[in-house]
Amino acid sequence: MLEPHHWTTLELPKVLARLARYTSFSASTELALALEPSIFPEVVAQRLAETREARQLLTTRSDLGFGGITDVRPLVETAVRGARLLPVDLLAIRSSMLAARELRRSLLKLGANYPRLASLAQRLHDAGGLIVEIGRCLDENTGEVRDDASPELATVRRELREAAGRLQEKLRRILSNSRNGPYLQEAIITQRGGRYVIPVKADFKGRIPGIVHDQSASGATLFIEPLATVDLNNRVRELEAREQHEIDRILLRLSILAAEDAQPIVWTIEALAELDLIFAKAKYADDLDAIEPVIADEPRARLRLIRARHPLLDPATVVPIDIDPDDRTHILVLTGPNTGGKTVTLKTAGLLALMTQCGLHIPVSAGSTISIFDQIFADIGDEQSIEQSLSTFSSHLVNIVDFIDRVDARTLVLFDELGAGTDPAEGAALGLSILEELRERNTKAIVTTHLGDLKLYAGARAGVQNASVDFAPITLRPTYRLIIGQPGSSNALKIAARLGMSEEVLRRAEIYIESGKTDMSRQAEEIQKARLELEDRRRRIEWLDQEAARLKAEYHEKIERLKEQDRRSAADVAMQTRQSLVNLIKLTQERYQEIR
């Protein structure tokens, strides 16, 4: 079982946050942020294939999208509880279901080439009746209920327009009356409290008989409903109330229709979110220049990453690395100076494994192969805990103790600076014991260290191999390239010299290094030298085998050519003999005719 604590260490949540930026609406964004790696090969294969289909489809149908879709599940739930939805809510439901219908039709037509996407499209509900009815009753441009949504609404609105027209005409006549001009603040018609009024100067209150509904902030203007328009205003208000009642009835009816389709709508939104997430994976993969890795289906886990790039680093500057040990190696001991890229290598390996199991294509090159891991454990970084009174070393041990007994051949373990933070001799001994435990369990692991004893172990044990991060020999700056089969040096003295350390201090340090070398250290160097010689011999033998096979093939080819030449020569002789006989017979016949 994969554990979230280790996902965080490997920065999977940061990758998922970037993935979420490619989603189109909130439901798919939530799915992206909550995406978890799967340990089931068939699930991972399905996810990767879905991403592959979406990438292929986007190359020919870039117009295919999820515009107009929102997560309307809360609105539908509100309707189910008997509430009346607003026009904007109903239009959101219509827009989402209309987009789902169009997407369903498109994907089903392409089902032969994109079967997995078409299978998901089957789950999209075609709410044709609801789409039509909402569209008939509501204007999607204005968000208002249409006049023809019902006969009653059409009648009320016609009467309301007529009544409002008569009221406006009455007020205009009052405003245009020359006797009223001196009393008016402005010759305009406005509204207060839903009733039509005119602005009158406060000093002339009572000159235009009416009801005062409001006054200006300065108190200089009174908003008066003339008595001559009270009945007309009452009629308008009555019709407005009837109009609102009919609108509410129509909205409630549409809400009931949405509630009746609630479950299919919820299922549709969920399927849309899954589809949108798949297309988000495809877009993210395109931007990462990622590929689908080969999934290894073997008892022993494999991790072969060619030109792997950490997805969170700047693609313009990140240096690709090759994590490509031979098939016999399942533990890499990675050494070299600090800031050389050892920790980035660990995180890259672990993060790309997690991304693969999430169904994401990963930033590697062709030839990359990766297993589906049942467990991925990472002990990386300084996890010193002041609250728990734990040192860095103790914090690492607490983490390691938590998982070391659970590792097996389907586990990936990543150790940063194994054995560090305590006495070097004891730390090395503990580190060796942990590595031996992993080796006996056939666990796939990458370990970084500065301890020489761990380098010796990697050179002496089958299934374990040294690796190092490369440094430029002159500048001593990291190249961030990984070298498999060669242990690294910390280059501490060279770096100290470049930074200005005195020659006397450096000379004394070199003496201490030479005098401090143990027989085991020298033996490690000899073993490493012998191992490199054997590796060279193995390559030469492989070359000789290939050359022998090539010469053998050439020999057989020449033999076949000679046989073919012999067959052709025999045929030529027979042909020549036959022609000679024909010529002889012809000559004989001619001589015979001459004799006669």
pLDDT in tens, 418-433: 877 777 788 888 888 8
Distance set, CA 580 to CA 90, 336, 487, 594 (Å): 101, 85, 80, 21
Query: What pLDDT is attached to residue 525?
Result: 58
CA 558 to chain centre: 56
- Confidence at 544, pLDDT banded by 50, 70, 90: confident
Distance between CA atoms of residues 150 and 133, nearest Å: 12
b/e 349-383 (16+ beta carbons within 10 angstroms → b):
bbbbbbbbbbbbbbbbeeebbbbbbbbbbbbbeee
CATH number for domain 4-127+261-287, candidates 1.10.12, 1.10.1420, 1.10.10, 1.10.8: 1.10.1420
Model pLDDT for residues 510-535, shown as the tens digit of each residue = 777 766 554 445 555 565 566 667 76
**Tokens (6 digits) for 455:** 């380098």
For tokens 């090539």, the residue is 550
- Confidence at 383, pLDDT banded by 50, 70, 90: very low
Cβ–Cβ < 8 Å for 337, 448: no
Cβ-in-10-Å burial (0-12, 13-18, 19+) of 63 comes to: exposed
pTM for the structure as a whole = 0.77
- Is residue 40 classed as helix, strand or coil in its secondary structure? coil
Mean pLDDT of 282-287: 96
Best-predicted range by mean pLDDT among 139-153, 397-411, 527-541?
Answer: 139-153
Q: Which of 452, 527, 522, 459 shows the shortest CA–CA distance to 492?
A: 452
CATH number for domain 149-251, candidates 1.10.287, 3.30.450, 2.60.40, 1.10.1420: 1.10.1420
Distance between CA atoms of residues 9 and 381, nearest Å: 8
Could you please state the CATH topology (level 3) that the domain comprising 294-516 is classified under.
Answer: Rossmann fold (3.40.50)
- Is residue 375 classed as helix, strand or coil in its secondary structure? strand
- Confidence at 483, pLDDT banded by 50, 70, 90: confident
Query: What pLDDT is attached to residue 191?
Result: 92
Query: What pLDDT is attached to residue 418?
Result: 83
For tokens 């990543």, the residue is 414
Mean pLDDT of 557-586: 69
Model pLDDT for residues 151-178, shown as the tens digit of each residue = 999 999 999 999 999 999 999 999 999 8
For the chain, helix (H) and strand (E) counts, in that order, are: 18, 14
Lowest mean pLDDT segment, chosen from 53-57, 61-65, 168-172, 200-204? 61-65
**Tokens (6 digits) for 503:** 């020659």
Query: What pLDDT is attached to residue 390?
Result: 45
Q: Which of 340, 293, 299 shows the shortest CA–CA distance to 471?
A: 340
Q: Where in the chain is the domain with CATH 1.10.1420?
A: 4-127+261-287, 149-251
Q: Where in the chain is the domain with CATH 3.40.50.300?
A: 294-516
